[in-house]
Amino acid sequence: MKVGDRSCALAGAMTVTMEIEDCITILHGPRGCCHRFPLGQMVDPGRVMVSGMTEKEVVFGGEGLLAKAIRKAEERGPGMIAVISSCIAGVIGDDVLALCRELKTESFLLPIPADGFLTGGFYAGIEGAMAALIKDFLPESPGPLKDDTVNILGEKNLAVDEEESFREIARLLRRLDLKVGARFVRRTRARRLQETGRACLNIVRDPAIGSSPAKLLQDAYGTPCLDGGYPSGRRETAAWLRKVADLTDRSAAGAIRAEEARYEQLIDDLRGDLCGRRAAVQAAWTGPWLIELLEDLGMEIVPWEGGAPRPDLILAARPVDDLPPGSVFAPLPTVPPAGHTGPLAAAAAWRRRLKTAVGGWRSDVRRGAL
């Protein structure tokens, strides 16, 4: 089981289908299955339907009930109808795949045999939904290759800062005269997904989610893949730009020079307030991007516990009890911030916290640039 894989496959599949904005998702199971997923964190819950199986369907089968739900969904004219099966549907043997193949619908009908916990955990549902999209929905011949377009695969749909990370990656890609085509699968539409095979490169955001569909797309279309996740920090970003440039037959030299100049300009402003400040970092969350950032700012790293001198800033994933007098707590992200902008924005937040605690510092005039 993968780390964090605590929920069922139905919930994982929903995180994929709910990101297709013109898709209606039908959960084939009891009404309670709808609560297997925190709909409040997703887009319009009106795009979710439940077939509503009862004891009657458990005994006699629920395929007729599912067919009625599909017909009702089709009345809304969606670009796609996704059907996700639950544990109950899997246990009683409802053949969701066969039913969806037999029904004639104007909207594309995508069956995803999740079968709740019978199929596996949360990540199994994500992989199953993405595999279904690639194998059943994407065209065999998507059209001419776009040598200025890349796809992003495996974004973290439940992460609160995912759009900030995407904007940073899109900004870096523009340095190489590249644009994002399909986001597989996040904040997209069915027609946009159908052009997935036209990109010249697939970039994986989270290997746990994106590596499997990247392999399927490479097998289907021959599209090369850059795996390993987003870069974080000055060195990783430069190396990442070189890799993207190599895979898309470009030169990264100009992009790296421009990014280095931008980085130095922004960090110089931060360095004026943070240089010489002492930071204690919780060991479990110490990463290359963080050490690099602290060093570039000229900050001093001091022991986490029982050390001297007293830290000005305590960096940890969660609030710390019994802060030393005069120390300020600042949260660390659970996922390394993307590119240059993410780490610099974290440093700007540290400055604001220290400014609030100490008072009298000059205004953070560069905040809007980060």
Residue 198 lies in a domain: yes
Question: Which range has highest mean pLDDT (62-66, 184-188, 283-287)?
Answer: 184-188
Are 107 and 153 members of one domain? no
Contact status, residue 350 vs residue 313, Cβ threshold 8 Å: yes
Residue 242 vs residues 27, 148, 246: alpha-carbon distances, Å: 44, 16, 6
Are 365 and 274 members of one domain? yes
Name the burial class of residue 142, with classes exposed (0-12), middle (13-18) and buried (19+) by CB atoms within 10 angstroms of its CB: middle
To the nearest whole percent, how much of the chain has pLDDT over 70? 90
Q: Which residues is 81 bridged to in the sheet?
A: 24, 109
Residue 240 lies in a domain: no
Are 169 and 102 members of one domain? no
Strands 146-153 and 225-226, sheet pairing: unpaired
pLDDT of residue 280: 92
Are 168 and 96 members of one domain? no
Residue 308 lies in a domain: yes
Taking alpha carbons only, the member of 328, 267, 261, 327 closest to residue 295 is 267
Contact status, residue 169 vs residue 338, Cβ threshold 8 Å: yes
pTM of the model: 0.87
* Token pair belonging to 240: 């990442």
Count of H-run helices and E-run strands, the chain: 13, 12
pLDDT tens by residue, 231-271: 999 999 999 999 999 999 999 999 999 999 999 999 999 99
Give residue 118's identity as a one-letter amino acid code: L
* Token pair belonging to 104: 């004639």
Contact status, residue 183 vs residue 155, Cβ threshold 8 Å: yes
Residue 254 lies in a domain: no
- Domain final position from 137, 170, 198: 137
Are 70 and 114 members of one domain? yes
Tell me the mean pLDDT in the region 162-186: 97
Are 327 and 288 members of one domain? yes
Contact status, residue 28 vs residue 83, Cβ threshold 8 Å: yes
At a CB cut-off of 8 Å and minimum separation 6, what does 143 contact? 195, 197, 198
pLDDT of 320 over the 70 cut: yes
Residue 1 lies in a domain: no
Are 77 and 94 members of one domain? yes
Residue 255 lies in a domain: no
Are 31 and 132 members of one domain? yes
User: Cα–Cα distance between 263 and 259 in angstroms, integer?
Assistant: 6
Are 358 and 312 members of one domain? yes
Arithmetic mean of pLDDT over the chain: 88
Residue 229 vs residues 38, 159, 211, 218: alpha-carbon distances, Å: 26, 15, 10, 17
pLDDT of residue 252: 97
Residue 91 vs residues 58, 84, 119, 303: alpha-carbon distances, Å: 9, 14, 11, 55
Are 226 and 324 members of one domain? no
Structural domain harbouring 36 = 9-137
Are 85 and 181 members of one domain? no
Are 186 and 108 members of one domain? no
Please tell me the total count of domains within the chain: 3
Q: What CATH number is attached to the domain comprising 181? A: 3.40.50.1980
Residue 250 lies in a domain: no
Tell me the mean pLDDT in the region 101-115: 90
- Domain final position from 137, 168, 192: 137
Residue 253 lies in a domain: no
pLDDT of residue 348: 96
